[in-house]
């Protein structure tokens, strides 16, 4: 690795070539203020706060966008810079409503904390707030242009990381705003509801639709049995809201907290992740053995499903018909579990704690989400919403004793828990499909070919002499590469390049979903990923088909994977949707 | 009937008032008296633009140039020059230290030097043959058959040519960055997105001599190893676009553009990309984004387009005027070019001279010419006997220069040192009727509309500065506003991403610097001395001067002036919209502005 | 028109230069150049061309060629017309309208007399670096 020698405020420092001044400074614990820079994104250089001086040059440079040069001395802080930054900050604040108390980002807002650090006590300029109504058209996120500081993060995430292009810069000058092109509502735009915009927004201009009140109402309704499930990725991230390191596994504390909040039963989405593997794995084996359409593509990510239905609907025949684990859990709660406790679907209120904003959309995405006769999932809350509920309820999260999930749809295998990380669904499926195809168990359960953070990963798994070709993509911008391989092979009449493809919309998978705690970057992602693999390693069973509750549900209720009943309850259909619906 | 001589009498208003008409009559009289009426024609002409030495009389074909002529001199001019064919020495224009009259010694002509505009107004822009006849494509010939890329760069470096788009970066250096990079594709781009208010140098160049730009771009392609180029031109320039298209077609037909140029293995072709008129697209990274089909927003530099430009490929990008210089630099050599201009700024600069100036127009002067020479010699000074107040250079990026700076030589560095900048070449002259708050407000209004909105200091700063200036022009300004404007101006200069934002506060800051007193008058006394800020102005009629001619009442668009014929009129202040029509129409000076 | 080689370009240039030197444009001896930049056109240069053509037809003079050129720089007196006629100094007229254009034909071209008040001196050739 090539290194360069620079000086920061006169102090010699050696950093990797190609490092920005902003990041070089961080290696020496020097924090340069910035609102638009984000580790996940190319420098956009919009906010103007990170200006620095290069000794010997009259011009100031943007620390976020300027790579360090051998021998230079960079001044990151001095009284002149301080004054300029203060003025720029005051200007930005003059365009931002002072509604911190009622803002979803209060206490986590990057602008608020900068204003605090700089000791801004009054804004010398006339206030000028955009008079545009918030866009609440999607079930997932709210876009409030009044609070937008035009840093561009959301648009860049939407365009560069996700290749969705729902958000664009509209108009110019002081009228600049970020919204779907053509001025349509988000719901009429290509938006896939992944919520990455909300996870990257430095202020409260795009945020998850808060539905915590609905949970409280359900709990207070004595006629309802409130049943809550938690997604795999929540258990390695929620702790961050309570000062724990990213990746800290807090599964048992979450179960306990949910019961304190009033849940009548607490289940785990990991159970139905195992169930998904049984269905989806069997579907794959069926396609392979019977000359079905290959590759099969995973369908557990609702943002990906939405993307596919809009941008890649030629892939509909490739999609696994298996519902997502959350939806399977919902319908099992309202059928199988309802029977067990002797109640009816309509008297159960199902809640899912998810790392994801698209899940809020998924529960009503089409008629198949009413398989139990009622709406299978009633409410989705994100990790961030759960954290707020716990705080509001005065629960000392740290002090909670760990508890177990309820039976009979709460136990999970290691395969179920790694659903939350990119490559995890593939790995879990391989563990079970191997058994279904070869009738033997896979020896090394860690399928290294599909692990890691590369945007696209391709590998071959040896199924006792048969090569099963797999590919994994995460971050929507990476998916077209694989889809194009499939399309090309199809056009040329060649063998499909893969048997099985896993796609997750968010970089890193659900652990970095749009509903997870703020300040996610690749370092945080790695910690959360490690947390889930750790959960897998220490699990008693690491294969979905070894989960005893899975065996039981097939024996007592579903019959067999891909049975008629399974199809009715656990499988779905897809449809073409227009990119712009207006 | 052919006449032998022409006697031209300057008929400009300055010379007219300096007895031009009397001279004309005496000349006619003397010609008749001396019996030569049939041998000559005496003509009243438009202004020669050399008013400080007027009245002027010129005799053709001798090229005798007489200055400060009086009616009684007519006799000598006819008897000596026409009858005897000898020039009247005592009337001849002489520059200090030089005795003999020669046409090229006359300051007015000598002050312009046409390199960029060498063909403008002389050749038919739709005829490639006429361009070729004036040594067109000679530079390309040399670049293709005689010079190596390095030698082309050497000539450019020797010439000292700096980019004419505003920032003045050395062109040879810029090209050398692109030349030395090894890449599968490079591009040559022409920035013809001229957008400064009052600037039209590039339009005139493209309309008058499109081949000069095309030739330069081919030379650039040869030099850096690019085979594709694009001219980004605003769609509001339909004639320039049409002539460029014709010129490109002709060049292709002649084998000067396209595959295997002049039979060599070098190929280069061009296409035109239309801009939608966003000022920020004159910023090169925004321009390239716009060509790529993206929203025109600047991106941070480095990387510079020279290394990573159009579609991420190394790209030479220059503006129209820069390119127009290049064919002659190559054909005549860098040393020839470097003879003109100053130490740090070689060659000439084209200016669009407008505003309160007698001879508004497109001029080209060697770098180092002073503002005084441009305004008073070439431009002929301020019309209507008004007093010079300031000249604005650099458009929305520049500043105002007061009388104190009239002797500043115009080049890149000295303009910056006095708080303005060269910009692309707009030059607007202001007189005592121009309010400096209003001027600053005008430019800020422009920047508010044209800021792309990407970076906070520019997006918010332009709007806030404009709002404060509006307040001041309404008499609602506060003394603290001055400091606020300075603070914001400083932050914008330092923290904006591109040139637009970095220079947008210049018009305000330079007005605060040079005309603080006038700004303070608005704030403290609620007074606008120029009578431009409508909220601070009141029109009234001086009863003693008004003769009741009713002209003002008829001109008033809101009919708020009343009064009978031959009786002093009265303005109803409650309905007056302060348009100033009464003031302009009154021939008796009876309308007062306060 | 076919693609040229270097030799052909050089030949063409020489031929055109000689034509220009002899002022022999298509065998005609008087050249009228109208400034047809956007500025000129906006100020009425097209009407001027029409008037010139019409008047030349009326007087039956076929010895004149009318050409367009870009902006001559004299924006304050657009439209501008330059006349190059044998025996009379080259002349630039400013503020030309249809009526003045007709005068230019009748008085300057046909009669060899300059048109009062509209002469804006000879062309700027002497400032162009040769």
Residue C129 lies in a domain: no
Q: What DSSP line would sit under A52-71, residue for residue?
A: EEETT-SSEEETTT-B--TT
H-helix segments, B113-254: 128-133, 138-145, 149-159, 171-180, 201-208, 210-224, 238-253
B137: nearest CA in chain C? C9
CATH for B128-337 (3.30.420.10, 3.40.50.11540, 3.40.50.150, 3.40.50.261)? 3.40.50.11540
Query: Which of A45, A62, A77 finishes a domain?
Result: A77
Residues A194-214 have pLDDT tens digits of: 999 999 999 999 999 999 999
Q: With contacts defined as CB-CB under 8 Å, which chain C residues touch B48?
A: 121
Residue C5 covered by a domain? no
Domain of A204?
Answer: 100-208
Chain B interface includes C42 (CB < 8 A):
no
CB-nearest to B460 from A51, A92, A171 is A92
Contact C70/B204, CB-based, under 8 Å? yes
CB contact (8 A) between residue A47 and residue B455: yes
Answer yes or no: is pLDDT of B110 > 70.
no
Nearest CA in chain C to B255: C3
CATH code: domain B5-107 is: 3.40.30.10
Confidence of residue A443 (pLDDT cuts 50, 70, 90): confident
Check C121 against B48: CB less than 8 A apart.
yes
Residue-level pLDDT at C91: 81
Beta-carbon pairs below 8 A across chains A and B: 108
ipTM, two decimals, is 0.90
Taking all residues of chain A, what is their mean pLDDT, rounded to a whole number?
A: 96
Q: Which of A210, A258, A227, A213 has the alpha carbon at shortest distance from A106?
A: A210
Please answer yes or no on whether B133 and C3 come within 8 Å at the CB atom.
no
Share of chain A above pLDDT 90, in %: 96
Q: What are phi and psi of B318, to 5 degrees?
A: -135, 165
What span, in angstroms and rounded, lies between the C-alpha atoms of C11 and A35?
65
Tell me the angle at which helices A383-392 and A251-261 cross, rounded to the nearest 10 degrees. Answer: 60
Any domain includes C106 = yes
Query: Between chain B and chain C, how many beta carbons pairs sit less than 8 Å apart?
Result: 176
The 10s digit of each residue's pLDDT in A174-187 is 999 999 998 899 99
Q: What kind of fold does domain B348-431 have according to CATH? A: Ubiquitin-like (UB roll) (3.10.20)
Checking DSSP bridges between strand B57-60 and strand B5-10, what pairing results, if any?
Answer: antiparallel
Residue at a domain's end among A208, A236, A267: A208
Alpha-carbon gap, residue B320 to B570, rounded angstroms: 55
Q: Decide if pLDDT at B339 tops 50.
A: yes
Residue-wise DSSP of B152-183: HHHHHHHHT-B-TTTT--BHHHHHHHHHHS--
Hey, is A268 helix, strand or coil? Answer: strand
Do residues A279 and A137 share a domain? no
Q: Give me the phi and psi of B428, to 5 degrees please.
A: -115, 125
pLDDT score of A215 more than 80: yes
pLDDT given for residue B385 in this prediction:
83
pLDDT for B104: 37
Q: Please judge whether B459 and A174 are an interchain contact, meaning their C-beta atoms are less than 8 angstroms apart.
A: yes
Looking up residue C81, the CATH number of its domain turns out to be 3.40.30.10
B-chain residues near C24 (CB < 8 A): none
Q: Which two tokens stand for residue B524?
A: 């403290």
Count of domains in chain A?
3
Number of C-beta neighbours around residue A372 at 10 A: 22
Asked if residue B96 has pLDDT above 90, the reply is no
Residue C37 forms part of a structural domain: yes
Q: Domain ends where: A179, A208, A237?
A: A208
Instruction: Pick the closest to residue A543 from A296, A332, A278 (CA basis).
Output: A278
- Contact criterion met (CB below 8 Å) for A36 and A59: no
Domain count, chain C: 1
- Whether C81 maps to a domain, the answer reads yes
**Cα dihedral A485, A486, A491, A492 sign:** positive
Please list every residue in chain B whose beta carbon sits closer than 8 Å to the beta carbon of residue A46. 454-456, 497
Query: Which residues in B lie closer than 8 A to residue A94 (C-beta atoms)?
Result: 460, 464
Chains contacting B (3 or more CB pairs within 8 Å): A, C
Question: Is residue B103 pLDDT above 70, yes or no?
Answer: no
Q: Is residue A87 part of a domain?
A: no
Model confidence at B107: pLDDT above 50: no
Three-point CA angle A374, A376, A382, nearest 5°:
140
Distance from B290 to chain A by nearest Cα, in Å? 14
Residue among C20, C88, C120 whose CB faces B46 most closely: C120
Assign a CATH topology to domain B538-593. Answer: Alpha-Beta Plaits (3.30.70)
Domain-embedded: residue A464? yes
Tell me whether residue A537 is in a domain.
yes
Q: How far is CA B232 from CA A101, B197, B272, B550, in A?
A: 49, 18, 6, 53
Does A147 or B53 have the greater pLDDT score? Answer: A147
pLDDT-wise least confident of B60-69, B122-131, C11-20? B60-69
What residues contact residue A204 under an 8 Å CB cut-off, 6+ apart? A103, A104, A105, A106, A109, A144, A147
Report how far residue B513's alpha carbon sits from residue B351's, in angstroms, rounded to the nearest whole number. 25
Q: How confident is the model at residue B423 (pLDDT cuts 50, 70, 90)?
A: confident
C-alpha to C-alpha distance for A304 and A506, rounded to whole angstroms: 9
Do the two chains C and A touch, given a threshold of 8 Å on CB pairs and at least 3 pairs? no
Q: How far is CA B553 from CA B99, B193, B540, B564, in A?
A: 58, 45, 12, 10
Q: What is the pLDDT of residues A339-385, one digit of tens each?
A: 999 999 999 999 999 999 999 999 999 999 999 999 999 999 999 99
Query: Which CATH code for domain B436-525?
Result: 1.20.1440.230
Domain-located, residue C50: yes
pLDDT at position B415 is 86
Q: Name the phi and psi angles at B99, rounded to 5.
A: -90, -50
Q: Note the Cα B297 to chain centre separation in Å.
A: 27
| pLDDT average, residue stretch B43-47 | 68
- Determine, yes or no, domain membership for A157: yes
Closest by Cβ to B464, choosing from A44, A125, A172: A125
Q: Do A91 and B454 touch (CB under 8 A)?
A: no
Residue of C nearest to B47 (CA): C120
Domain positions in chain B: 5-107, 128-337, 348-431, 436-525, 538-593
Query: Contact B46/C95, CB-based, under 8 Å?
Result: yes
Domain region containing C61:
25-123
Average pLDDT estimate for A49-72: 95
- Segment B273-294 mean pLDDT: 92
* The most confident of B27-31, B82-86, B153-157, by mean pLDDT: B153-157
Residues of chain A by 3-state class (helix, strand, coil), percent to 5? 40, 15, 45
Same domain, A162 and A246: no
Identify whether A580 is part of a domain: no
**Are A394 and A294 in the same domain?**
yes
> Which pTM value belongs to this model?
0.86
CB contact under 8 A, C5 and B121: no
Q: Which residues in chain B are closer than 8 Å to A44, comparing Cβ atoms?
A: 454
- Give the nearest chain C residue to B61 (CA atoms): C89
Q: What is the CATH number of the domain that holds A13?
A: 3.10.20.740
**To the nearest whole percent, how much of chain B has pLDDT over 90?**
61
Same domain, A121 and A66: no
Chain C CB contacts of B358 below 8 Å: 76
Least confident of A416-425, A484-493, B30-39: B30-39
The answer to whether the CB atoms of B484 and A125 lie below 8 A apart is yes
Question: Residues A254, A331: one domain?
Answer: yes
Task: Find where tokens 């360090």 sit.
Answer: A68
Per residue of chain C (130 residues), what is the pLDDT tens digit? 578 899 999 999 998 888 776 655 566 778 899 988 888 898 899 999 999 999 999 998 888 988 888 887 777 788 999 888 877 777 888 889 999 999 999 988 888 788 877 877 654 444 455 4
């Amino acid at each position: 690795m090539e290194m360069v020698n620079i000086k920061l405020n006169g102090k010699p420092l050696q950093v990797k070539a190609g490092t920005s001044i902003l990041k070089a400074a961080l290696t020496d614990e020097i924090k340069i203020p910035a609102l638009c820079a984000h580790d996940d994104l190319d420098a956009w250089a919009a906010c103007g706060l990170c200006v620095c001086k290069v000794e010997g040059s009259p011009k100031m440079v943007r620390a976020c966008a300027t790579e360090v040069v051998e021998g230079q001395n960079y001044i990151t802080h001095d009284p002149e810079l301080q004054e300029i930054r203060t003025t720029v900050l005051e200007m930005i604040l003059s365009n931002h409503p002072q509604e911190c108390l009622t803002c979803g980002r209060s206490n986590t807002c990057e602008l608020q904390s900068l204003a605090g650090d700089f000791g801004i006590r009054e804004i010398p300029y006339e206030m000028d707030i955009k008079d545009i109504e918030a866009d609440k058209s999607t079930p997932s996120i709210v876009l409030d242009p009044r609070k937008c500081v035009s840093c561009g993060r959301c648009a860049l995430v939407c365009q560069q990381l996700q290749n969705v292009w729902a958000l664009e810069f509209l108009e110019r000058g002081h009228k600049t705003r970020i919204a779907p092109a053509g001025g349509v509502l988000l719901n009429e735009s290509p938006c896939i509801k992944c919520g990455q915009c909300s996870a990257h927004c430095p202020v409260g201009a795009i945020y998850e639709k808060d539905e915590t009140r609905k949970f409280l109402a359900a709990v207070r309704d004595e006629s309802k049995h409130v049943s809550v499930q938690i997604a795999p990725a929540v258990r390695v991230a929620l702790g961050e809201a309570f000062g724990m390191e990213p990746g800290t596994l807090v599964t048992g504390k979450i179960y306990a907290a949910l019961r304190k909040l009033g849940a009548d039963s607490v289940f785990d989405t990991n159970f139905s992740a195992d169930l998904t593997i049984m269905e989806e794995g069997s579907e794959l084996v069926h396609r392979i053995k019977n000359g079905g359409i290959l590759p099969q593509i995973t369908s557990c990510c609702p943002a990906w499903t939405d993307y596919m239905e809009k941008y890649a609907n030629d892939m509909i025949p490739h999609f696994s018909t298996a519902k997502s684990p959350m939806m399977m859990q919902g319908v099992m709660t309202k059928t199988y579990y309802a029977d067990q406790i002797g109640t009816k679907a309509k008297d159960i209120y199902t809640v899912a704690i998810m790392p994801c904003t698209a899940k809020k959309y998924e529960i009503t995405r089409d008629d198949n989400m009413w398989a139990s006769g009622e709406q299978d999932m009633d409410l989705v809350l994100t990790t961030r919403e759960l954290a707020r509920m716990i705080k509001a309820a005065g629960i000392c999260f740290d002090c909670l004793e760990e508890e177990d999930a309820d039976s009979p749809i709460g136990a999970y295998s290691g395969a179920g828990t790694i659903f939350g990380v990119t490559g995890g669904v593939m790995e879990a499926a391989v563990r079970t499909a191997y058994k279904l195809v070869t009738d033997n168990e896979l020896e090394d359960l860690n399928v290294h070919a599909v692990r890691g953070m590369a945007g696209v990963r391709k590998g071959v798994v040896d199924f006792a002499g048969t090569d099963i070709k797999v590919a994994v993509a995460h971050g929507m911008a990476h998916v077209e590469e694989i889809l194009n391989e499939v399309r090309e092979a199809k056009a040329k009449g060649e063998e499909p390049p893969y048997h099985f493809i896993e796609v997750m919309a968010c970089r890193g998978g659900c652990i970095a979903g749009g509903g997870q705690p703020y300040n996610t970057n690749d370092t945080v992602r790695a910690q959360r990923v490690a947390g889930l693999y750790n959960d897998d390693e220490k699990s008693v069973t690491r294969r979905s088909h070894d989960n005893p509750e899975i065996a039981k549900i097939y024996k007592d209720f579903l019959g067999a994977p891909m049975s008629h009943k399974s199809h009715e309850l656990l499988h779905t259909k897809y449809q073409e949707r227009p990119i712009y619906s207006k | 009937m052919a006449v032998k001589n022409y006697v031209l009498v300057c008929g400009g208003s300055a010379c007219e008032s300096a007895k031009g008409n009397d001279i004309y009559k005496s000349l006619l009289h003397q010609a008749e008296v001396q019996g030569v009426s049939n041998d000559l024609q005496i003509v009243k002409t438009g202004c020669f633009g050399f008013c400080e030495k007027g009245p002027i009389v010129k005799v053709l074909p001798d090229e005798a140039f007489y200055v400060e002529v009086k009616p009684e001199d007519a006799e000598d001019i006819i008897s000596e020059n026409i009858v005897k064919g000898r020039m009247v020495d005592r009337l001849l224009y002489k520059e200090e230290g030089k005795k003999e009259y020669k046409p090229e010694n006359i300051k007015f002509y000598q002050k312009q030097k046409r390199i960029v505009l060498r063909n403008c107004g002389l050749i038919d822009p739709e005829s490639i043959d006429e361009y070729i006849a004036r040594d067109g494509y000679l530079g390309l010939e040399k670049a293709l058959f005689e010079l190596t890329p390095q030698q082309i760069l050497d000539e450019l470096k020797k010439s000292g040519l700096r980019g004419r788009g505003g920032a003045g970066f050395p062109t040879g250096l810029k090209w050398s960055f692109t030349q030395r990079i090894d890449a599968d594709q490079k591009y040559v781009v022409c920035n013809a997105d001229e957008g400064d208010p009052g600037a039209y140098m590039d339009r005139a160049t493209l309309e008058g001599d499109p081949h000069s730009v095309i030739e330069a771009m081919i030379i650039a392609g040869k030099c850096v190893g690019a085979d594709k180029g694009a001219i980004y031109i605003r769609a509001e320039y339909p004639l320039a676009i049409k002539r460029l298209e014709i010129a490109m077609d002709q060049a292709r037909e002649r084998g000067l553009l396209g595959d295997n140029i002049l039979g060599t293995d070098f190929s280069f072709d061009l296409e035109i990309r239309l801009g939608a008129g966003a000022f920020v697209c004159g910023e090169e990274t925004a321009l390239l984004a716009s060509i790529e089909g993206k929203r025109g927003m600047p991106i941070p530099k480095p990387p510079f387009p020279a290394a990573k430009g159009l579609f991420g490929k190394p790209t030479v990008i220059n503006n129209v005027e820069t390119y127009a210089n290049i064919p002659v630099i190559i054909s005549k050599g860098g040393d020839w070019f470097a003879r003109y201009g100053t130490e740090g700024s070689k060659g000439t600069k084209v200016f669009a001279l407008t505003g309160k100036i007698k001879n508004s127009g497109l001029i080209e002067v060697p770098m180092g010419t002073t503002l005084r020479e441009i305004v008073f010699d070439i431009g002929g000074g301020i019309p209507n006997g008004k007093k010079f107040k300031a000249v604005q250079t650099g458009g929305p990026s520049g500043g105002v220069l007061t009388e104190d700076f009239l002797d500043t030589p115009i080049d890149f560095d000295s303009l910056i040192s006095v708080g303005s900048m060269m910009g692309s070449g707009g030059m607007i002259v202001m007189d005592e009727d121009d309010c400096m708050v209003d001027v600053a407000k005008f430019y800020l209004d422009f920047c508010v509309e044209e800021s792309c909105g990407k970076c906070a200091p520019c997006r918010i700063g332009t709007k806030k500065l404009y709002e404060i200036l509006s307040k001041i022009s309404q008499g609602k300004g506060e003394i603290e506003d001055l400091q606020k404007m300075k603070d914001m101006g400083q932050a914008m200069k330092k923290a904006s991403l591109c040139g637009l934002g970095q220079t947008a506060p210049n018009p305000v800051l330079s007005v605060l610097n040079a005309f603080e007193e006038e700004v303070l008058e608005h704030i403290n006394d609620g007074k606008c001395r120029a009578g431009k800020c409508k909220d601070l102005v009141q029109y009234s009629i001086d009863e003693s001067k008004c003769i009741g001619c009713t002209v003002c009442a008829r001109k008033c668009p809101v009919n708020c002036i009343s009064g009978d014929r031959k009786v002093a009129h009265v303005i109803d202040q409650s309905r007056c919209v302060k348009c100033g029509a009464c003031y302009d129409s009154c021939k008796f000076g009876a309308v007062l502005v306060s | 028109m076919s693609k040229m080689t270097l030799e052909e370009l050089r030949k063409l240039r020489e031929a055109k230069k000689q034509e220009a030197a002899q002022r022999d444009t298509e065998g005609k001896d008087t050249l009228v150049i109208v400034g047809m930049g956007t500025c000129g056109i906006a100020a009425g240069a097209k009407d001027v061309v029409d008037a010139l053509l019409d008047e030349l037809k009326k007087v039956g003079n076929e010895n004149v060629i009318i050409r367009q050129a870009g902006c001559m720089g004299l924006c304050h007196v657009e439209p501008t017309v330059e006349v190059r006629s044998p025996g009379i100094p080259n002349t630039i007229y400013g503020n030309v309208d249809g009526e003045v254009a007709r005068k230019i034909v009748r008085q300057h071209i046909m009669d060899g007399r300059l048109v009062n008040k509209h002469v804006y001196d000879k062309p700027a050739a002497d400032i162009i670096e040769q």
